[in-house]
Amino acid sequence: MISQWIEEYLSAKVAERRSPATITTYRIRLGRFGAWVLEQPNQVLSRALLRAYSAYLAQQNLSIASHYSYVNDALILVRWLAEEGYIQPVNTDKLKPRLPKRLPAHYTMDQIKRLLLVAELREKAMLCVLLDTGVRVSELIQLRRTSFDSEGCAMILGKGSKDRYIWISSATQEVLRTYIASRTDTNPALFVSHRQQKTLTISGVHQSFDRLASDAAIRNDVRRLIHSFRATFARELIKHGLDAESLRVLMGHETIQMSLHYAQLSSHEATQKRQGVNLLEKVESCL
């Protein structure tokens, strides 16, 4: 029964026009949940069963973030099944594992410089676009040679099939022109593989930056090499005075809270910004 329910849930998500990548992620995570449920003597979806599933995951070789994601998707499925009338409502409160509170992974400007110094032309072009736009890797690989107009603007299809504009600086435009001029293939994609000149895949981008980070000797210093450009984009724009709503639009988020999550500053950075503001300036004469 659980396998059938999972398929019906996935069909509902397809009907909601969730992206193929999102559906694939759901299928992988829920497939694991379904397989585990089928191994249990009591397969009734209950709070106790969900807690046992979380305990099982805690004993597997998973990061805390992966553990959280697998449990969260299982809880969402159970709530959906209850809403659709397949099962009785289940209390799913406080069943997710606690995530450690830490700043989103990001780059320092020194690390960016080190990457640029060892980057080949294609990697340098990708780095500039990622840092200049804050795009997701899935959005990066959909770009074409002709995506950007003369002003550096382009329309992309973002998460949730939502269109949004992105912009690149003149410096990034120049790097792209140099990269495109160096190519001998006719593939319309902006970024292609070195050997076969096929459109670069998500895994291809990750592999390229894994090598690049190793060459720059920062591989162990930065978590989530590609996604960290997105957090760096958000942090730098907020530090330079961009308002939260504009950042939300640029990043393609539904809520300001999500954008500000990426833009979190460390206490040291906040203190540095605070030191630039003299709250007693207008009353110093009275001191």
pLDDT higher than threshold 80 for residue 102: no
- Nearest CA among 50, 65, 71, 46 for reference residue 105: 65
State pLDDT tens for residues 114-135: 999 999 999 999 999 999 999 9
- Determine the pLDDT at residue 268: 57
State pLDDT tens for residues 5-43: 999 999 999 998 888 888 999 999 999 999 999 999 999
Angle between helix axes 170-182 and 121-133 (nearest 10 degrees) is 150
Q: What is the pTM of this model?
A: 0.68
Q: Are 131 and 112 in contact (CB under 8 A)?
A: yes
Largest distance between two CA atoms of the chain = 78
